[in-house]
Amino acid sequence: MTNPQAPPPIAVRPETPASLRQCLESLRPAGRELAAMPLSDLLTPLEQFGRLWQPGSDDFRRACSLLEGTFSRRAVRDSLTMLSLSLRREVLLGELTRELGRADLMDRWQADEGETGFSRGFPLGVAAHVLAGNVFLGGAVAIAQSLLTRNAVLVKLSRADSGFTSLFADRLKNLDPDGPLARSIAVRAWKSEQDELNQVLREEADAVVVWGGQAAIEAYPADRCRGRVIHYGPRLGIGLVCEGVDLDEALPALAWDVALWEQRACSSPRLLLVEDADGSGSLPGRVAAELSRALSDVREHLPRRTLSLDEKSEVYSLREWAAWGNRARVFATAGSMDHTVLLSTAGPQEIPADYRTVLVEPLRSLSEVRQSLAPYRDALQTAVLAAPPGRWPAAVAALVESGMTRVVAAGSAASRFLGLPHEGEFALRRMVELIGIDLGSGCLTCPGHQVSPAVIEQLKRSS
Amino acid sequence: MSADPIDTLLDEPVFADPWPEAVFIAAVDACLDVLLARFPRYADFVRDRTGGISPRPIETMERIAALPPLFLPVLKGFRFELPGDVQTAVELTSSGTTGAASVVPLDEPSMRRRVDAMAAVYGGLGIGADDIQALAFLMDPATTRMAGSVVIDAVLRAMPQVHSIQYLARQRNGKPDFSLPEAIEAVTEAASQGPVLLVGYPALIAAAVHGMRETGAGRLPLPQGSFVLTGGGWKSSLPGVQLDQGEFRRLVADFFEIGPRAVRDMFGLSECPAVFVQCDRGHYHAPVFVHAQAIDPESGEEEEPGKTGLLQLTTPLTTSYPLLKILTTDKVVINRGCDCGLATPYIVPRGRASVARFETCAMKIGQAVG
């Protein structure tokens, strides 16, 4: 249904290889200007920009009208609020310090203790982000990551983009229409099948960051791209419930994680491992039943989006298959498709996607976590952990051993954008080239070599 | 009149007005009685989904509404164990165009009823009123178990007015084999002998018409009483043959000079013994043997007229397999009030349910299998 409040869809002009090449060329000098911009000059407009998304603002309302429907009002409102807060100067400084080691990594050469070794970060140049259409903040995060690392950025929209990425980019450009920030951002769209356009990115971009499904990842293999390739491919969200945890607290929080992004985010739990130490199935059964209740309750805060007839058919299908294949017990609200909890009765199996569907799989102990997750190892990223405090270290160790790179407390699967490693590394660090200068010291330097104080002075000044 | 409630239903006028609800209900009850006794797994399913309440006796439409439907995709992967007292006369398969083919075992009474039901629909719409020869653009039933071929063959053979049947396609080494020159020759020859019924896949019929036009024949008038009856395959066309039902009808009606009302399409499923044949206004009417509904799969409730739902079919004609009530993945609208004069509701197909997924970073169904 059309939302009368919604702005018209943002027109995207047809792209050709030549126009895309020209776009990337125009971003290069802007990127150089951005690289030369002092950090404080960057943080000030970003903070100002963040205020645009505060609740009650025009842009807040406009974004809400674009996004509500696919996601709940609450998810949209809270995400925009979080976005606004995340762009505050002190928050960004903190995140930069955590991710890059020091906030001024890209602003000055830092000397080591002996003042003979120096290091500094440099941008990669023009970073192209191939976006996924799952979570509307993906484009905003991509742009923010690029600018914070002083890379000019081209984002390729997903065909499922809500329009928010373009709105976000337009507003950012409007802050300083003639400044380097505005010139450093480009938003483009083309069909993924138009490989001649993909080829331009492969040939021209200094970095290609691919967010999304397997087809997108395969379109930009490292050996066919000139620049650095960063893949954030398809992921399977996991949950782990340990014996002894307070289920009354944990399950509503887990339900929140399932519902917040309608399982479109890679962190949304879809497979829930539940300890079943005595093999009775008691805890898994209780978790399945109570998670189903919690998912019903969470609708009060995060109402389910409207399902099309095709989607309802798919939900019906997955429930029927589970029941007829004797593969799982179905827990759901009668007459409703707001969620489905499947309690596995036949070991590992296909894991449904979307529609707030969770597969509960029993395991005897934490030592089985690795084996249970082995089939999915290449797709692991975030685990939502519900465990009593004393069992956290062992549970985290089991999850890390299984291949998880992020462990979050129940209810926190999507609580922050920056400041923690993403898939084994700080995302900002991947967007930076670290350069070292060695002026020489120690017994392996050429006999008679002297460190030049003038060079040290020049390096310090150049910052 | 037969005393068997199912056969009694078959004795009703095929597009009876008013709909013989009581007869239908009695047939459902009789059919369900047999199925519950024959198929314990089905009986468990019915009991589980009805909260343990006995579904029988079925005495009202509300009781029929409370019966859980079998979901059609499940039937493609799940086989009910046949009891010893069911002697399979024929096993029908679906075309498998949407994945795995389903297999429908029919005993003699179930096959007979299916054939009688289809013949009654043909008769009710005036198809085959004259002596006619049939040219079947279908796989020769000697080479396939596909329901379309096997049942239509049986129906044509049961119609005394059909004095010959010639098949123009066959399965050979597991692949369809269709000879265009043979088809052109057969149609040309048949046209000179009397009324013709061309029945089968629209793609093959369209290919024959295009082939004849390419040989220079502008038209090939068929004698009065001829019909073109198509079934299935609107999307799976031959290379170079684009198929739109309206265009097909115009093309064929013009070429054979039979008028668009003599070009009809059938809508059916191998799992459902009732077939929906277009009336002369192009609407797929439900015969009395079937209760067709558009269902919201979330609530299980019937949609209001004019609103799209999944097609649910309750057809009390098959006792050799639990096909009494099935929910399909076909999207339909159920309408009433056709200008053709038939009072029974008709279905308006809206395609098949499918989900177009966009690339996301959340892994999709089936990508990770333990």
Percent of chain B, pLDDT > 90?
Answer: 49
At residue B239 the predicted structure's pLDDT band, cuts being 50, 70 and 90, is low
Closest CA to B266 of B200, B320, B314, B335: B200
Whether residue B287 has a cis bond before it, omega within 30° of 0 = no
Tell me which chain B residues have a C-beta less than 8 angstroms from the C-beta of A354: 362
At residue A12 the predicted structure's pLDDT band, cuts being 50, 70 and 90, is low
Q: Of A234, A310, A335, which has the smallest distance from its Cβ to B363's Cβ?
A: A234
pLDDT of A31 > 60? The answer is yes
Distance CA A115, CA A409 (A): 43
pLDDT, one tens digit per residue, over A58-68 is: 999 999 988 88
Which chain B residue's Cα is nearest to A214? B359
The tokens describing A147, both together, are 């600018």
The mean pLDDT of A138-152, rounded to a whole number, is: 93
The tokens describing A235, both together, are 């992921």
Chain CA centroid to CA A30, Å = 26
pLDDT, one tens digit per residue, over B173-196 is: 877 788 888 888 888 888 888 899
* B74 with A324: Cβ contact below 8 A: yes
More confident of the two residues B1 and A258: A258
Numbered ranges of CATH 3.40.605.10 in chain A: 17-234
Residue A341: strand pairing partners: A331, A358
* B364 with A376: Cβ contact below 8 A: no
Percent of chain A, pLDDT > 90?
Answer: 67
What are the CA-CA distances from residue B57 to residues A393, A429, B6, B87 (Å)? 60, 71, 15, 26
What are the CA-CA distances from residue A19 to residues A25, A183, A190, A193, A208 (Å)? 10, 16, 12, 17, 18
Phi, psi of A111 (to 5 degrees): -85, 150
> What's the gap in Å between the CA of A337 and the closest CA on chain B?
6
More confident of the two residues B332 and B151: B332
* A211 with B361: Cβ contact below 8 A: yes
Q: Is A357 exposed, middle or buried (0-12, 13-18, 19+ CB in 10 A)?
A: buried
pLDDT of A219 > 70? The answer is yes
DSSP 8-class letter at A315: H
Burial track B262-288 (b if 16+ CB lie within 10 A, e otherwise): bbbbbbbbbbbbbbbbbbbebbbbbbb
Which pLDDT belongs to residue B235?
Answer: 53
Q: Of B73, B308, B362, which has the smallest distance from its Cβ to A266's Cβ?
A: B362
* B365 with A353: Cβ contact below 8 A: yes
Tell me which chain A residues have a C-beta less than 8 angstroms from the C-beta of B299: 335
At residue A346 the predicted structure's pLDDT band, cuts being 50, 70 and 90, is confident
The residue to which tokens 């769209």 are assigned:
A189
> What's the gap in Å between the CA of A385 and the closest CA on chain B?
19
Residue B112 · residue B119 · CB < 8 Å: no
Which pLDDT belongs to residue A2?
Answer: 34
pTM, to two decimals: 0.85
What are the CA-CA distances from residue A436 to residues A100, A121, A433 (Å)? 15, 9, 10
Residue B329: strand pairing partners: none
Q: Give the list of residues 6+ apart from residue B358 with CB closer than 8 angstroms, or none.
A: A132, A133, A134, A158, A159, A160
DSSP letters, A372-410, are HHGGGGGGEEEEEEE--GGGHHHHHHHHHHHT--EEEET
> What's the gap in Å between the CA of B10 and the closest CA on chain A?
32
Q: What is the ipTM of this complex?
A: 0.88
Distance CA A454, CA A394 (A): 53
Which chain A residue's Cα is nearest to B311? A313
* A347 with B370: Cβ contact below 8 A: yes
> What's the gap in Å between the CA of B361 and the closest CA on chain A?
4
CATH C-level class of A17-234: alpha beta
* B353 with A309: Cβ contact below 8 A: yes
pLDDT of B358 > 50? The answer is no
Mean per-residue pLDDT of chain A = 90
Among A304, A312, A339, A349, most B C-beta atoms within 10 A, so best to mutate, is: A312
Q: Of A211, A233, A320, which has the smallest distance from its Cβ to B74's Cβ?
A: A320
The mean pLDDT of A440-447, rounded to a whole number, is: 90
Tell me which chain B residues have a C-beta less than 8 angstroms from the C-beta of A132: 358-361
Q: Give the list of residues 6+ apart from residue B269 with CB closer than 8 angstroms, or none.
A: B72, B94, B147, B313, B326, B328
At residue A4 the predicted structure's pLDDT band, cuts being 50, 70 and 90, is very low
Chain CA centroid to CA B302, Å = 21
DSSP 8-class letter at A425: B
DSSP 8-class letter at A158: P
Number of residue pairs across A and B with CB atoms under 8 Å?
A: 134
Tell me which chain B residues have a C-beta less than 8 angstroms from the C-beta of A330: none
Which chain A residue's Cα is nearest to B359? A213
Which pLDDT belongs to residue B367?
Answer: 36
Closest CA to B314 of B85, B66, B52: B66
**10 Å Cβ neighbour count for A458?**
11
Distance CA A423, CA A435 (A): 23
* B363 with A351: Cβ contact below 8 A: yes
Which pLDDT belongs to residue A11?
Answer: 42
Torsion angle of the four alpha carbons A143, A145, A151, A155, in this order, in degrees rounded to the nearest 10: -30
**CATH number for the segment(s) B70-370:** 3.40.50.12780
Half-sphere exposure for A458 (CA within 13 Å, toward CB)? 7
Q: Of A133, A350, A375, which has the smallest distance from its Cβ to B360's Cβ?
A: A133
* B358 with A310: Cβ contact below 8 A: no
pLDDT, one tens digit per residue, over A357-412 is: 999 999 999 999 999 999 889 899 999 999 999 999 999 999 999 999 999 999 99
Tell me which chain B residues have a C-beta less than 8 angstroms from the C-beta of A307: 298
* A321 with B74: Cβ contact below 8 A: yes
Tell me which chain A residues have a C-beta less than 8 angstroms from the C-beta of B331: 309-310
Tell me which chain B residues have a C-beta less than 8 angstroms from the C-beta of A351: 363, 365, 368
> What's the gap in Å between the CA of B264 and the closest CA on chain A?
28
Q: Which residues of B touch A (CB under 8 A)?
A: 71, 73-74, 77-78, 296-300, 308-310, 327, 329, 331, 353-370
pLDDT, one tens digit per residue, over B106-137 is: 999 999 999 999 999 988 888 777 788 999 99
Which pLDDT belongs to residue B368?
Answer: 32
Which chain A residue's Cα is nearest to B301? A335
Which pLDDT belongs to residue B359?
Answer: 45
According to CATH, the topology of domain A236-409 is: Aldehyde Dehydrogenase; Chain A, domain 2 (3.40.309)
Distance CA A252, CA A329 (A): 21
Residue B298 · residue B47 · CB < 8 Å: no
pLDDT, one tens digit per residue, over B43-85 is: 999 999 998 888 899 999 999 999 999 999 888 888 999 999 8
pLDDT, one tens digit per residue, over B298-336 is: 999 999 988 999 999 999 999 999 999 999 999 999 999
The tokens describing B276, both together, are 């929906």
Q: Assign 3-class secondary structure to B331-356.
A: EEEEECCCCCCCCCCEEEEEEECCCC
pLDDT, one tens digit per residue, over A78-136 is: 899 999 999 999 999 999 999 999 999 999 999 999 889 999 999 999 999 999 877 78
* A158 with B298: Cβ contact below 8 A: no
Rounded (to 5) percent helix, strand, coil in chain A: 45, 20, 35
Distance CA B314, CA B325 (A): 4
B119 sits in the region (left: phi over 0; alpha: psi -120 to 50; else beta) called: alpha
Residues, chain B, total? 370
The mean pLDDT of A199-213, rounded to a whole number, is: 95
At residue B245 the predicted structure's pLDDT band, cuts being 50, 70 and 90, is confident
Q: What sign has the CA pseudo-torsion A53, A57, A58, A64?
A: positive
Numbered ranges of CATH 3.40.309.10 in chain A: 236-409
pLDDT of A243 > 90? The answer is yes
* A212 with B361: Cβ contact below 8 A: yes
Reduce the DSSP state of residue A257 to 3 states and report it: helix
Which pLDDT belongs to residue B98?
Answer: 54
User: Minimum mean pLDDT among A351-355, A401-405, B39-43: which range?
Assistant: A351-355
Which pLDDT belongs to residue B364?
Answer: 47
* B369 with A349: Cβ contact below 8 A: yes
Q: Assign 3-class secondary structure to chain B.
A: CCCCHHHHHHHCCCCCCCCCHHHHHHHHHHHHHHHHHHCHHHHHHHHHHCCCCCCCCCCCHHHHHHCCCEEHHHHHHCCCCCCCCCCEEEEEECCCCCCCCCEEEEEHHHHHHHHHHHHHHHHHCCCCCCCEEEEEEEECCCCCCEHHHHHHHHHHHHCCCEEEEEEEEEEECCEEEECHHHHHHHHHHHHCCCCEEEEECHHHHHHHHHHHHHCCCCCCCCCCCCEEEEECCCCCCCCCCCCCHHHHHHHHHHHHCCCHHHEEEEECCCCCCCCEEECCCCCEECCCCCEEEEECCCCCCECCCCCCEEEEEECCCCCCCCCCEEEEEEEEEEECCCCCCCCCCEEEEEEECCCCCCCCCECCCCCCCC
Tell me which chain A residues have a C-beta less than 8 angstroms from the C-beta of B363: 234-236, 266, 270, 351, 353, 376, 379
Q: Is A303 exposed, middle or buried (0-12, 13-18, 19+ CB in 10 A)?
A: middle
Residue A164 · residue A140 · CB < 8 Å: yes
Tell me which chain A residues have a C-beta less than 8 angstroms from the C-beta of B370: 347-349, 375
